[in-house]
A and B are shown apart, each in its own frame.
Chain A
């Protein structure tokens, strides 16, 4: 009974997503690109590296990388704490 209600809601959700996908901008024309044009034009003279994606990950948006390193550290902490043998 509960599964049939979820199934009908899932069909409505997939229909909405397919209608939204058909009505988006054509594939290959991004909407706004002023920030990325600044990154492509000025990344080589300001940082001196050739790879623009790496300078965005580690220099222009370094805070997100710090948060991700913390999430990875916490996951390792959780896995080690689950498999500990408590000696009696």
Chain B
């Protein structure tokens, strides 16, 4: 509907991939550096907001679709609750993978160290699950509200 000028469209197609990679980097390294699931999910959602502002809601239908976002959000929430139930041998939300030697099971060197990606246990998996959920939730909110505002403004023009 309302597209922006050619300069904005060119810069957006060049840059929205880098914003998404930066957001995924903050989600995956959540147990070593400042950040985590919620912060990284908000950064990836700002890339989606950039696409919707540049192309309008009709034009961004070839980049994003609402049904896939709904599927990703429910996958993230179910993964989060499932990994909370797996430690039910001792208690709910028990970290059964830390210091055990399996997947994500190395122990951390005590004190100040450089950081190893293979540590963390269930904290690392829950980071990625919550990151997927926050990303998809913000995407659905942005797409639904922009579609609703275009319908309202079209009805005001016709009446």
Task: Give me the interface of A with B, judged by CB distance under 8 Å.
Answer: 44-51, 53-55, 57-59, 62-63, 65-66, 69, 72-73, 75-76, 79-80, 82-83
Contact = CB atoms under 8 A, between A and B. Distances in A.
A51 B30 contact: yes
Contact of A54 (B30, B141, B148): B30
Interface stretch (B9-17, B47-55, B114-122): B114-122
Nearest to A81: B144
A47 B120 contact: yes
A69 B32 CA distance: 23
B99 A48 contact: yes
Interface in B67-113: 73, 77, 80-81, 84, 93, 95, 98-99, 105-108, 110, 113
Closest 3 CB pairs of A and B: A49-B31, A62-B93, A48-B119
B86 to A, nearest CB: 13
B36 interface: yes
Interface of B: 30-34, 36, 73, 77, 80-81, 84, 93, 95, 98-99, 105-108, 110, 113, 115, 119-124, 126-127, 130, 133-134, 137, 140-141, 144-145, 147-148
Contacts of B110: 44-45
Given A59-B93, A72-B133, A72-B137, A50 B108 contact: yes
B31 A72 contact: no
Contacts of B107: 45, 48
A75 B124 CA distance: 26
A8 B69 CA distance: 49
Contacts of B36: 51, 53-54, 57
Contacts of A44: 108, 110
B137 A58 contact: no
21 contacts: A44-B108, A47-B121, A48-B120, A50-B115, A51-B33, A51-B36, A54-B30, A55-B123, A58-B123, A59-B122, A59-B123, A62-B84, A62-B93, A62-B126, A66-B81, A69-B80, A72-B134, A73-B73, A79-B145, A80-B140, A80-B144
B115 A48 contact: no
Given A63-B93, A72-B133, A50 B31 contact: yes
A59 B133 contact: no
